[in-house]
Structure 1
Amino acid sequence: MQWKLFADIAERAGTDAVTVQVPSDDPTVGDALDALFETHPELRERVLADGEPESRAGIAPDVNVLLDGADVFATADGLATEVGKGAELALFPPVSGG
């Protein structure tokens, strides 16, 4: 399973793509995120935020968690959303500029 990382998240990881192994028959976005933190613990502080609303499962408000281009928090399942084979996962902070 592969994560695509963008902007400062990719800079912290030192790469824009990370392949993770998820030891589950029915992996979820949360399982894949845990596996990412195991291989790149430096991302934990950037991606997670203490005291955030339960609806975002502790994910920082300025980080989008995408599955096949869609925000996982736009569905009722959030991080519990199952990840199928060949799915694309991404961590995407807001981008601004002028």
Structure 2
Amino acid sequence: MEWKLFADLAEHAGDREVSVAADPGDTVGDALDALLDDRPALAERVLEDGELRSQINLLRNGADVRSQEKGLETELEAGDELALFPPVSGG
């Protein structure tokens, strides 16, 4: 499964795109765990007390995972696109 990382998250991971060992049927949470196991420098930035920080946006196919019924327990399907975004501000 491929993750796309943006802004400082890409800097912490050392790359904008990271492949992890997650397959269809695994959950978004499984893919996140695989990402953080592979790129531990990201964990401090995206987790707080072991949970995804509220200001970090985790998207599956362009939709915020938190808005989906099962959240991080949403099962992955072939071709899914996963992305992590830090808080966005502008003016």
Regarding TM over 0.5, the answer is: yes
| Cα 1:87–1:14 shift into 2, 3 Å | same
Residue 82 of structure 2 corresponds to residue 78 of structure 1: no
Aligned residues: 91
Structure 2 CA distance, aligned partners of 1:59 and 1:19?
A: 20
The answer to which structure has the higher strand fraction is 2
Q: Give 4+ residue runs of structure 1 displaced > 3 Å after superposition.
A: none
**What's the % identity of the aligned pairs?**
56
Structure 1 CA distance, aligned partners of 2:34 and 2:87?
A: 23
TM-score normalised over the length of structure 1: 0.86
Unaligned residue ranges in structure 1 (runs of 5+):
51-56
User: Paired residue for 2:43?
Assistant: 44
Check the 8 A contact 2:57/2:85 in 1, yes or no.
Answer: yes
Residue 9 of structure 1 aligns to a residue in which SS?
helix
Residue 86 of structure 1 aligns to a residue in which SS?
coil
Residue 41 of structure 2 corresponds to residue 11 of structure 1: no
